[in-house]
Every structure is written in C-alpha cells, then in structure tokens.
Amino acid sequence: MLSKSVVAVSFLIILLYGNLFIEVEGIGVNWGSQASHPLPPATVVRLLRENGIQKVKLFEADSQILRALSRSGIQVMVGIPNDLLAPIAGSVAVAERWVSQNVSAHVSSNGVDIRYVAVGNEPFLKAFNGTFEGITLPALQNIQSALIKAGLASQVKVTVPLNADVYENASNLPSDGDFRAEIRDLMISIIKFLSDNQAPFTINIYPFISLYNDPHFPVEFAFFDGTDSPVNDNGRIYDNVLDANYDTLVWSLQKNGFGNMSIIVGEVGWPTDGDKNANMQYARRYNQGFMNRQKAGRGTPMRPGPMDAYLFSLIDEDAKSIQPGNFERHWGIFYIDGQPKYQLSLGNGNGLVPAKGVRHMAKKWCVLAPSANLQDPQLGPSVSYACDHADCTSLGYGSSCGNLNLAQNVSYAFNSYYQVSDQLDSACKFPGLSVITTNDPSVGSCKFKIMIKSDSSGGEASARMTRSVAVLLLLSVCLYIVL
C-alpha cells in the first residue's frame, strides 16, 4: 500500500503537469491597438473571456488595456515598441521606470497576470537594415535587471519576438537550418541570456507571407490538409510549411547548444483581405486547421505536442501601416466592431462569440453624386486624399472590393473617409462630387462599412477631421486656380 507521502507527491506531479498542459494548450491572441475607432478595453476583455481565450499579447503597455485585464484570469505578454529600445538600452534607470509603471503597478495593484515582457518587435527584420541590432540585447538585459530589482523575475520572464528571417537554410530541409550569418553571434548571445534566465525564445511564423512573396510557392504546403509533395528530412516528413519552419528553428537552436529551449510562437495566422490570397476561405482553412492540430495535441517532428502560440490577430486594425502590404489591416478573426468574420472553433466546440454592446453610427453613407462627372479633374486628387486618410485596402487587385467599377471605387473611397471621420457632414463635401445617402451602396461581397461609436468618436476626432476637410477644400481651390 502506498504511503501518504508518495500519494501526495504523485498528486502534486499530476497537478503540476496538468497545469503545464493547460497553460500550453490554451490559445493566445495578439491584441493590437492601431485602429481609428478601437473597441473599449472592457468590451474586448469580455470578448476574450467569452471565447475562452486564456492568453493575450500586447504590443505596448497601454494602461487602459492593462487595467481592463485586471483579475480577468487572462495571462498577459506586454510589449516594448522598438522606438523605446534605445532609451531603455542606454539607461538602467529608464528600464526600472518602465517596469515600475507598466509591470509592477499593474501586477501589485490591479491584479494583472503579466507573464512576459516582450522587448522589441521583430527588431532584426531585414527591412530594418540593422537599426536595432546594437541595442536589443542591452535593452533586454536592463529590463531583466529591473524585473529582478522589482522582485518579479520569477513571475515575469523577458523575451524578444523575432521574425523567422533570423534563421535560414541552404536547402529546403529543416536540419540544414542555422541563424543568419551576419547576426549569428548576436543571436547566440541573446539566446544564452534568455536561457540563463529561464526565458523562452519567441518566433513569428507566417506561411501567408511565404505565399505572398513567392508566386511559385506551393499553395497546399501553406495549409494543414496534406500535400502531394511532402519534404522528407532524413525520415522526418513535413507536409506543411509551419512545421518545417518551426523545426528549422529547433535545429538552429540545437546546433548552437540550446536544443531544449522553450519556444513560443508569438504570431501565427492568416489575413482575410488586401491580397488575392488573403480571403475568408483561406483564413478559416488555415486558422481552423491550426486549432484542430492544437486540440489534437499535434506538434512537429522535432517537437511533439501542442505549440505555445498566439493567433494573429484578434481584431482588424484599420490604421496599421500598409508598407508590408494592404493585407496588414485584415489579420483579425473579428472585424473592427467585434463581429466574427467566419466560423472558427478555438477548441471549445463552439463558434466565435461576438462582442457585446457595440454601437454603430447611423445607417448612412457618403457616395459619388449621381450628377458628378467622372472626368472632373478633382476626382483623382479627392479619391487619393480620402484613401490617404482612411482605409481603402479592400480595393486592390484580388481583394474583396477589387471588382468595382470606377464610380463604385470612388464611392468606396469617399465612404471610407466619411466613416472614419465620424460621419461628419463636412467629411462628405468633396466639391461637386459627393452626396450622403441612406441606401446601402454595398456591392455583392464588397461591404461599404458603417463605423462604430467608440472612445475616439466625438470632439477631438471631429475637430481633427474638420481641419482635414479644410485642407481638402483649400487643395480643391488651388487645383481650380491652376486649371
């Protein structure tokens, strides 16, 4: 008969491993805030909880969002933007102040379950041309020192979310992987520092980007339904690019002495608009395929078991930079108003639950006036102005509104500006070109959106938009004089 002490120890082991399994299995999401009309943080936290989302990754330490997460039971990774790396790298005092304001205060007073501080966001991306290479490790070290001083180092771990371009291979075999030659020494130093502090390696993996960048990339290899041409790496079979990419990282770590390092997939997902391969069908296929394998406990050939991962992303961000591509504003599994884009089960057997209590503006739209002349010389500059100050990314080739005719394109642009301007009458005064209508101008699957009411609606936003309209009118006068 087992002694009480053995039974107790066994119970603790089961409890420990059970909690570990739950923590890894629970899906996380990225919660970005680059929206013209963000939902109230309390609404989003309710959305997270009602959809069973257990972890959230923030790109910056927004105090209102962190307060809303108070005692929510949701684990938090809070981010430090790249533009803060330099001051934090240059001063321990700055790092200590950041930790005090953005971690300690919320953990102690507000009961926010902060588990990680993400130092930077893909700082070694090739497009940055080495801008952050000299300051990321010092910033990481200073934040760690600040967490130690605050007595939080055992609870809150540091990490650096990195793009998958930090490693490469000379073939298509994961076992040939290693870190990029020009940053290899830096990567090893960062990995050693993370390992010494029991902190994870965080990587962002985007099969969509593989398809976007390479027109010859095999489409089926981007998803989880199998492929006619799997990759055979010495008996390890890869039928999708996520597994192959992830294991390229595993091999890179292993070759450099860190084969047991824990890995977080900081961003994984698929956009729904802004490119011919960014659509509802592909997004649902990818995200549901990923969730199905998570639920089944499937990992990669090198790392069996579900991944510790954060879907990218929770809600669309209509003010996000589109420098990488128009798809950047369409990664959400929810629209900007918190409505689900498609049916997706996050592992609880149910579909997505929409946000509650979201209010929309009136059902009216700004469109091209029936009397407008499509040859009007002010038409082009007006459309350009509207799209520069709103979101017209759905108008591109292969996008949801890519088949509109000229008049419909103009109407879409005008309405986008009108809605982001809180439906101000002055935002639909493109001279001789625009008119407000109560008839929905949507065309098929191309929806002319109505903006939500949010904290950004009203006085300050209206004043800002009124100034923008004044600039537009002045531009129109100048064009008239020139012509």
List, by residue number, the catalytic residues.
122, 267
3-class DSSP state for residue 371?
Answer: coil
Listed in sequence order, the residues at least 6 apart from 483 whose beta carbon sits closer than 8 Å to its beta carbon are 377
Cβ atoms within 10 Å, residue 322: 14
Helix locations, 27-135, DSSP H = 41-50, 63-68, 85-90, 92-99, 105-108
Kindly state the tokens that stand for 265: 């997939």
> Shortest CA distance to 82 belongs to which of 161, 157, 152, 141?
161
Amino acid at 260: N
How many Å apart are CA 400 and CA 420, to the nearest integer? Answer: 19
Buried b (16+ CB within 10 A) or exposed e, 1-34: eeeeeeeeeeeeeeeeeeeeeeebbbbbbbbbbe
Angle at 155 between CA 152 and CA 157, to 5 degrees: 90
How many Å apart are CA 122 and CA 449, to the nearest integer? Answer: 32
Integer CA distances (angstroms), 224 to 241, 273, 380, in order:
9, 21, 44
Buried b (16+ CB within 10 A) or exposed e, 50-89: ebebbbbbbbbbbeebbbbbeebebbbbbbbebebbbbbb
How many Å apart are CA 368 and CA 376, to the nearest integer? Answer: 12
